[in-house]
């Protein structure tokens, strides 16, 4: 770690300084001064030279020859020639690169490195730096423990620092350094294991002392431990019988006092856990009650569906029987009205009333016939947002006339549902129409669509109208149910909406507060599933 840290610190220091100098803007003398500045940063910097993109030297290199006294490691002629040949390892744009260490007898190893720096006109110059391992080798030797010999090897296994070992079969440890180098620490085996043999002898001695002390202590303490043990046994028996509040008497300051204290803490923990378990049982009962309520609600929904199915089947039969004579009455009335220029005003007025009421009866008959529908028909994968928009646009004139402001809140990436767009639009139109009727003086209507865990799609129709009394919520989907105070119609709109949603394997729910508003929630399964919601 020390070796890697030293080299890394040197590289960061020199690299940061070199890249902060505008080399292309300097004169020859300034460049030489900059090279001297870099050279003086570290005593282990042996040589610094600047080259242009073609490899030509830009000024004289900065180094200390053997004949000159310097704090820097001197560089001999042989090492200088080797460095000149090695600087080419740096290529423009490569950043910081390092070559193989130069090992010269009688001189500390030299590591040639190169750093690309910006030159003029976007060209890349090369700053070649040779680092001496003189200081690193001294540090490696100085930090080695007594009796341990350390060596620094390059990637090829050459010894860069440290002496060769004369010991036969030493104990060796190796650590990786930078550039594939390794630091090898070696120690004679007899020196390495001397402390272990000493510890072994001490262990045997103290083991014998401990055995003797244990025998003496056992004889002395036998009588002292009987009373605390009886107390602990009595406490354990009390816990076994369910007396969780029982505590062992604590006196003194010996180990049995600590044991009694731990026993009391255990009793408190058992009592606390028992209380928690009882609380969990109560919570479990509450959840079971909640699930039971959900099952009861599901059963009520099933009964409601069966009752509605029976009523709608009866209504469909009655509608079929009424439809034929009704068409005759309506047809004859319209024929007579086509000749109203031959009739008096009172007769025309009576015939117009008959026609209007006959059309109203026909509308009721058609709705009753729609209740008997038990399939989606030509179902396709639908975009729910488009269906809701279509229903809102179909009631746009009613919303404007009633001064009702509409708000659309549609979630993104909604899954598609399977169904009949016309039927679903009809069901939503019924819900919107009922909301409009609940806001005779205007208000706000919110249409919101969201997905639930990618399995269900819910449509909320929220108004700010009069609201519905709680005792009426369970009846609003029954055929012909209506009150003058809350609804203005024949009482088939919500029944038809409920039937359509049910045919689409969905569910419709109502929640309301009197004076605040009503929320109608339609839940439909996504297209890939057909599970009926209960």
What's residue 60's pLDDT? 85
What's residue 335's pLDDT? 82
Q: Which among 300, 295, 243, 303 has a CA at the least distance from the CA of 267? A: 243
Look up tokens 């103290």; give the residue: 206
Please state the length of the chain. Answer: 534
What's residue 484's pLDDT? 45
Strand residues in 24-65 grouped as ranges (E):
45-51, 62-63
pTM of the full predicted structure? 0.40
Report CA-CA distances (Å) from 237 to 164, 232, 241, 255.
73, 9, 6, 21
Q: How confident is the model at residue 348 (pLDDT cuts 50, 70, 90)?
A: confident
Tokens of 420: 């009949």
CA dihedral 225, 226, 229, 231 (to 10 degrees): -120
Q: How confident is the model at residue 310 (pLDDT cuts 50, 70, 90)?
A: low
- Collapse the DSSP code of 181 into the 3-class scheme (helix H, G, I; strand E, B; otherwise coil) and give the result: coil
What's residue 432's pLDDT? 92
What's residue 522's pLDDT? 93
pLDDT (mean) for 495-504: 82
Is residue 162 within 8 Å of residue 139, measured between CB atoms? no
What's residue 309's pLDDT? 61
- Which of 108-112, 231-235, 469-473 shows the lowest mean pLDDT across its residues? 231-235
Q: How confident is the model at residue 523 (pLDDT cuts 50, 70, 90)?
A: very high
Averaged pLDDT of the chain: 78
Distance CA 334, CA 347 (A): 13
Asked if residue 516 has pLDDT above 70, the reply is yes
What's residue 42's pLDDT? 83
Task: Count CB neighbours of 130 within 10 A.
Answer: 27
* 145-177 per-position pLDDT tens digit: 777 888 888 877 788 887 765 556 677 778 887
Is residue 152 within 8 Å of residue 103, measured between CB atoms? no
Q: How confident is the model at residue 532 (pLDDT cuts 50, 70, 90)?
A: very low
Complete DSSP assignment for 334-352: HHHHTTGGGS-HHHHHHHH
Give the torsion sign (CA, 464, 469, 470, 476): negative
What's residue 186's pLDDT? 80
Q: How confident is the model at residue 367 (pLDDT cuts 50, 70, 90)?
A: low
Is residue 434 within 8 Å of residue 379, measured between CB atoms? no
What's residue 463's pLDDT? 94
Give the torsion sign (CA, 457, 460, 461, 466): positive
Rg (CA), the chain: 49
Asked if residue 534 has pLDDT above 50, the reply is no
3-state secondary structure 135-149: HHHHHHHHCCCCCCE
What's residue 256's pLDDT? 65
pLDDT (mean) for 46-55: 84
Is residue 128 within 8 Å of residue 89, measured between CB atoms? no
Asked if residue 139 has pLDDT above 70, the reply is yes
* 187-241 per-position pLDDT tens digit: 777 777 777 888 888 899 999 998 888 888 877 777 666 666 677 777 777 777 7
Asked if residue 144 has pLDDT above 90, the reply is no
Asked if residue 46 has pLDDT above 80, the reply is yes
Is residue 140 within 8 Å of residue 108, measured between CB atoms? no
Is residue 368 within 8 Å of residue 308, measured between CB atoms? no
Look up tokens 């799609």; give the residue: 457
* 439-449 per-position pLDDT tens digit: 988 999 999 99
């Amino acid at each position: 770690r020390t070796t890697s840290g030293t080299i890394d610190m040197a590289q960061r220091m020199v690299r940061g300084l070199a890249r902060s100098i505008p080399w292309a803007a300097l004169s020859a003398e300034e460049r030489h001064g900059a090279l001297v500045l870099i050279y003086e940063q570290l005593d282990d910097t042996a040589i610094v030279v600047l080259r242009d993109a073609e490899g030509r030297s830009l000024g004289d290199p900065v180094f200390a020859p053997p004949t000159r006294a310097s704090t820097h490691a001197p560089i001999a002629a042989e090492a200088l020639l080797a460095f000149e040949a090695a600087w080419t390892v740096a290529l423009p744009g490569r950043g910081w690169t390092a070559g193989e260490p130069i090992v010269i007898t009688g001189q500390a190893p030299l590591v040639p490195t190169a750093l690309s720096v910006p030159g003029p006109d976007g060209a890349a110059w090369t700053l070649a730096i040779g680092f001496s391992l003189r200081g690193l080798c001294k540090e490696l030797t100085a930090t080695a423990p007594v009796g341990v010999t350390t060596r620094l090897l390059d990637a090829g296994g050459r010894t860069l620092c440290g002496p060769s070992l004369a010991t036969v079969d030493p104990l060796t440890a190796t650590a990786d350094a930078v550039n594939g180098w390794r630091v090898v620490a070696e120690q004679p085996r007899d020196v390495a294991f001397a402390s272990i043999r000493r510890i072994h002898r001490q262990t045997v001695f103290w083991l014998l002392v401990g055995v003797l002390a244990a025998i003496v202590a056992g004889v002395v303490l036998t009588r002292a431990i009987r009373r605390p043990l009886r107390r602990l046994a009595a406490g354990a028996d009390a816990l076994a019988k369910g007396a969780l509040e029982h505590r062992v008497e604590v006196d003194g300051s010996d180990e049995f006092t600590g044991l009694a204290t731990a026993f009391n803490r255990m009793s408190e923990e058992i009592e606390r856990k028992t209380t928690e378990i009882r609380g969990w049982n109560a919570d479990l009962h509450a959840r079971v009650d909640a699930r039971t309520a959900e099952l009861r609600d599901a059963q009520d929904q099933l009964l409601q569906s069966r009752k509605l199915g029976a009523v709608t089947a009866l209504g469909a039969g009655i509608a079929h029987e009424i439809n034929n004579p009704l068409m005759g009455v309506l047809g004859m009335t319209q024929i007579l009205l086509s000749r109203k220029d031959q009739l008096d005003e009172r007769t025309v007025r009576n015939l117009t009333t008959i026609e209007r009421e006959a059309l109203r009866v026909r509308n009721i008959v058609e709705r009753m016939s729609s209740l008997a529908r038990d399939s989606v028909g030509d179902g396709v994968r639908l975009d729910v947002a488009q269906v809701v928009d279509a229903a809102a646009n179909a009631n746009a004139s009613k919303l404007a006339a009633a001064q009702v402001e509409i708000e659309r809140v549609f979630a993104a990436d909604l899954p598609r549902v399977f169904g009949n767009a016309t039927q679903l639009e009809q069901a939503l139109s019924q819900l919107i129409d009922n909301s409009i009727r609940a806001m005779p003086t205007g208000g706000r209507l919110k249409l919101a669509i969201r997905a639930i865990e990618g399995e269900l799609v819910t449509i909320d129709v929220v108004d700010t109208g009069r609201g519905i009394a709680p005792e009426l919520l369970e009846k609003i989907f029954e055929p012909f149910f209506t009150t003058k105070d809350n609804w203005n119609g024949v009482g088939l709109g919500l029944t038809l909406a409920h039937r359509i949603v049910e045919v689409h394997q969905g569910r419709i729910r109502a929640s309301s507060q009197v004076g605040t508003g009503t929320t109608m929630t339609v839940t439909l399964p996504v297209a890939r599933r057909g599970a009926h919601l209960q």
